[in-house]
Chains A and B, each alone.
Chain A
Amino acid sequence: MKLGFLVDLNLCMGCKGCEVACKVENEVPLGSWRLRVKYIDIGTFPDTSRSFTPLRCNHCESAPCERICPVSALHYLENGIVNIDSARCIGCAGCMMACPYGAIYMDPETNTADKCTYCAHRVESGMMPACVVICPVQANIFGDIDDDNSHISRYIMEHQGAVQVRKPEKHTSPKHFYVGGGNQTLNPLAQQRIEGYSLFNNITHLKHIGNPHEGVIDRFLEPFKGEEKLDNRSFIDFDNNAHESYEEEGGH
């Protein structure tokens, strides 16, 4: 069995239901995302179109994050899922440097790396990932790509020629496919990010990697401190006037 994912971008309407469902299901803290939906406007006004691209871990067959992890915190499950053991993670961020898709984040609550696991806990119980269940247009298709009769395999076969993966040149063999995607939607180098013209925010870089309230010394003192109460409010910077800055370094 090899579990795979397919998103039909022709169906996706950018409702972000999957993004929210993922956050709720996996208790992803504010400021972090396992799954995000990116809006891209293509063309020149008035001939423009808006495209929506859900982005999550690709669960690569040859995963660079698994290879670089020094303690096997990132590991393969038998069903092909690239899982992560946060109790073992040392927080070196090697996986964040290795993942060509930027799919891994440093959880600000646990200060460990985390990412989409295709809801491995739900899959284990015979359920579908939360993002699949919530999608109102069934743009997310999940299943066993080793099984020729599975929905995902049949979908791939029906759309042969239109099925793509992100960054195939990286030879990571992603198990996450897109139908209806193009260079402008799947290749970040084909997209411009123009500050001031974003719809809802102009933040392009996180100010912190990991827990923003924890300094370097705190990391050493952590085992000797009492449990600090963290909630989502802890991660909201209400005075945030962050703008694109290359000077700010994550987590240091």
Chain B
Amino acid sequence: MVEHGINATQAIVTLDVALPGIIWGWMITLNMWAKSIGTGVILVGAFLLYRHKKEEMPNLRWMMPLIAFIALNVFLLFTLTDLHHPYRMVNIFLHPHWTSAITVGAWMASLFTGLITVMMLIGGFDAYPDFRKNCGIAKSIRGISPFYEKIFPFVVFLAIPVTLYTAIIMAESSARELWQAPAEVMQMMWAAFMAGSSALILISNKWSAEARKDLALVLAIATFFSFMMYMGEYFFSFKSSEAEATLAFVHAGGAYNTEFWFGMVLGFIIPFFIAVSSMKSDNKTLLRFAAILALVGLYMAKDVWLKIPQMLNLS
């Protein structure tokens, strides 16, 4: 009998109701991952434009907002799909509750996506001047072409809080103590740099080697610091008893242990070394491989970090 094997001070739950398991699942992981790409390409793109001439990265002006647009729409789609009442999303705009990071984030992300859409249209029509040459809408969009450069600094500035607000949602999720750490804010930032540089690497085939070297540098720095932060959080941090209990379960080979380490090796360690080597000798294929690995590994790491604190019974 199990009762004979336990300490007299220990307690066993002998009757309880069924409890909810993982409430925020893969859709939220995908949501965060896609948002990292959406804001990351803007942040890394701005860095590249600061460092290099536009001619060195001929397709950046329209591909950057296009990637951001696709990623942000994936993010918004899964935000909506995860709601049990998707049409009531409108309540966030009709009845906003400003203490909620979900509300603030929804407003900022909507504004950000709107501006990205404008940039994408301007960039696209400018890149292909013969496309819909006589169309009135295309003409008027081409007419506001300088607007792109005017709003770009504001979009870059806005990308920062849009990247970070998910960390505030996690901080407000006070039942999940693993997320109650300032490290989450920086983890979101590194994720954006990782995802942004990876996504841009995939379209950098015709760019100058110097620009690609900068992308490799950003990827190497982001994977290194993000990995270090995960290791610090995973092994060395002094956390609350609930967070410790969550991590102890995973340490002991519990659920998501394998996914976590796969994510760390695939998404952080291997891409780091490939990126460092690409800074010395330009190897487009290898760098693209690193970018894909980083995106896959980032998804896995985010997935584990999202789910593990939800396995803890709260009451």
Contacts and interface: CB of A to CB of B under 8 A. Distances in A.
Interface of A: 31, 33, 36, 38-45, 47-48, 50-51, 55, 64, 67-72, 88-94, 96-103, 105-106, 111-112, 166, 169-170, 172, 184-185, 188-194, 197-201, 203-207, 209-211, 216, 219-220, 222-223, 242, 245-252
Contacts of A185: 11
Contacts of A48: 3
B96 A70 contact: yes
B210 to A, nearest CB: 44
Given A45-B3, A70-B97, A88-B95, A198 B23 contact: no
A44 B5 CA distance: 8
20 contacts: A41-B11, A47-B8, A64-B174, A67-B100, A70-B96, A90-B91, A94-B102, A97-B23, A97-B176, A102-B314, A189-B242, A197-B14, A198-B14, A199-B14, A206-B19, A242-B18, A246-B21, A249-B26, A249-B307, A250-B25
Given A91-B83, A194-B12, A45 B1 contact: yes
B89 interface: yes
Contact of A206 (B20, B24, B82, B312): B20
Contacts of B153: none
A44 B4 contact: yes
A70 B106 contact: yes
B85 A68 contact: no
Contact of A198 (B16, B242, B255, B315): B16
A206 B13 CA distance: 17
B6 A44 contact: yes
Contacts of A103: 315
A107 to B, nearest CB: 9
Contacts of B102: 68, 70, 92, 94
Contacts of A249: 21-22, 25-26, 307
A96 B14 contact: no
A251 B84 contact: yes
B144 interface: no
A70 B89 CA distance: 10
Contacts of B252: none
Given A43-B9, A71-B95, A209-B20, 12 more contacts: A41-B12, A91-B88, A92-B102, A97-B173, A99-B314, A111-B85, A188-B313, A193-B313, A198-B16, A204-B313, A223-B87, A246-B256
A243 B176 CA distance: 23
A31 B271 CA distance: 46
B245 interface: yes
A98 B173 contact: yes
Interface string B88-127: 1101100111011111001000000000000000000000
B314 A188 contact: yes
Contacts of B87: 220, 222-223
Contacts of B137: none
Contact of A94 (B95, B100, B307): B100
B181 to A, nearest CB: 15
Nearest to A32: B17
Nearest to A51: B11
A207 B19 CA distance: 9
Nearest to B309: A97
B83 A219 contact: yes
A189 B256 CA distance: 20
Given A112-B85, A199-B15, A41 B315 contact: no
A245 B241 CA distance: 23
B12 A40 contact: yes
A211 B85 CA distance: 11
Given A88-B91, A112-B85, A96 B11 contact: no
A-B pairs with the 6 shortest C-beta distances? A91-B84, A102-B314, A249-B25, A39-B15, A205-B21, A184-B11
B16 A189 contact: no
A185 B10 CA distance: 10
A207 B255 CA distance: 17
A93 B256 CA distance: 22
A105 B314 CA distance: 13
Nearest to B315: A102
Given A90-B91, A97-B175, A99-B175, A68 B101 contact: yes
Contacts of A246: 21-22, 254-256, 307, 311
B2 interface: yes
A210 B100 CA distance: 22
Interface string B68-92: 0000000000000111111111011
B11 A70 contact: no
Nearest to A205: B21
B56 interface: no
B23 A93 contact: yes
B97 A69 contact: yes
B13 A89 contact: no
A102 B313 contact: yes
A89 B24 contact: no
Contacts of A44: 3-4, 6-8
A220 to B, nearest CB: 6
